[in-house]
Amino acid sequence: MANVAVIGAQWGDEGKGKVVDWLASRADIVVRFQGGHNAGHTLVVGSQTYKLSLLPSGLARGKLGIIGNGVVIDPEALLAEIERVRGQGLTVTPQTLRIADNAALILPLHAALDRARETARADRKIGTTGRGIGPAYEDKVARRAIRMCDLAEPETLSEKLDELLLHHNTLLQGLGAPVFEKQALLDRLLELAPLLLPYAEPVWERLDEARRAGRRILFEGAQAVMLDVDHGTYPFVTSSNTVAATAAAGTGMGPASVGFVLGIAKAYCTRVGSGPFPTELTDATGALLGDRGREFGTVTGRRRRCGWFDAALVRQAVKVGGIQGLALTKLDVLDGLKELRLGVGYRIGGETLRHLPAGMRAQAAAEPIYETMEGWSGSTHGARTWVELPAQALKYVRRIEELVEAPVTLLSTSPERDDTILMRDPFED
């Protein structure tokens, strides 16, 4: 019996929420291992729709949720999210949610710096959410972060705030933004401490015990491989590693504990914000995909850019992300299109590549090389078995498998949780 790690195989927003929810019902523990409240999953459970950013999706299924040390946590955002889902009937207590005591915190000064920097970039914006995730990770690697465990030590908290403000107020002043006063920050953190500390523990120990007991652990990734700070379309990326290997470092478990790696990809492609997007469609077809797929970001609310499925990009994500099987979502959005295209590579100047290069200008110059396929006239919407799929839709899925060099192990044919075709159970590997 394997654990399962779920990661995005494109630029995020691939429909991970439904797939994670489907898997969470069969897991014992669901763990977030990277990112912050700049990512979101929308879950539909019965008549309720939950929009989660920091809370692990398994809480909606009554499973133990864990926020690992690889996540950066905004205390105010977390407590607000807990109160919101409690109002929808979810039980969130220290018995159902545990948080790594060594997780770094996001403070108001991080969000202020994030926004001030983005404003200063003018027409060269990266497209951050302005929620402070990047600056919080910077403080973590610079060894000046305030962590969950520091809330239990007022003297440590005071000393760390001195160092933090020396750094951040200098930057904020240089950017023409208001600076922060220590006492107000210290007082607020001390107010929040008794609300947060009951959730805190060395989660690595609990997870190790669960692993030894043979309990099923689902590692829930945020964002996606092509937003990975090392392997994505840098600098238009997030501030953490999003590949499956991070599930180990971001929870305190060994790499052998990660188990089966399931990558989520749409049957087409979308991206929110700035950055290269070789297969983007700015025509009526792109608008049609956006309308049919209801392409608005869970967290940002921004309209997603839409384009053809980029098999070269997903193949790259499969290789660097450690993906062993794909969950292909939103196949039904393509119903009725007479012609479909698959990106199979890129042309940059006179050179042909099967992967996106690392250089920013080279990425921006990449022109897609397409393979054209016939569409299908029948409907895939709501299909739950292979035999219900039109023959041409089945050919499309099989061709994707060949191009990305990974099997499609799960196929989603509508937003409904049970409209899913399972070819291979990730938990049984």
List the catalytic residues. 13, 41
Which residues contact residue 351 at a Cβ distance below 8 angstroms, ignoring those fewer than 6 apart?
Answer: none
* Gap between the Cα atoms of 314 and 404, Å rounded: 6
How many Cβ atoms are within 10 Å of 402's Cβ, its own excluded?
9
Q: How large is the C-alpha radius of gyration of the chain?
A: 22
* Gap between the Cα atoms of 251 and 258, Å rounded: 10
H or E element that contains 247: helix 246-249
Characterize the bridge pairing of strands 305-307 and 200-201: unpaired
Characterize the bridge pairing of strands 29-32 and 217-220: parallel
Q: At what angle do helices 311-321 and 391-404 cross, to 10 degrees?
A: 50
Contact 232, 271 (CB under 8 A): no
- Look at residues 423, 331, 346 and name the one whose alpha carbon lies nearest to residue 381: 331
* Gap between the Cα atoms of 343 and 236, Å rounded: 21
Contact 40, 301 (CB under 8 A): no
H or E element that contains 323: none
* Gap between the Cα atoms of 267 and 328, Å rounded: 6
Contact 341, 307 (CB under 8 A): no
Torsion of Cα atoms, 263 then 57 then 61 then 192, to 10°: 160
Place of tokens 């001390």: 190
Residue 67 CB-half CA count within 13 A: 30
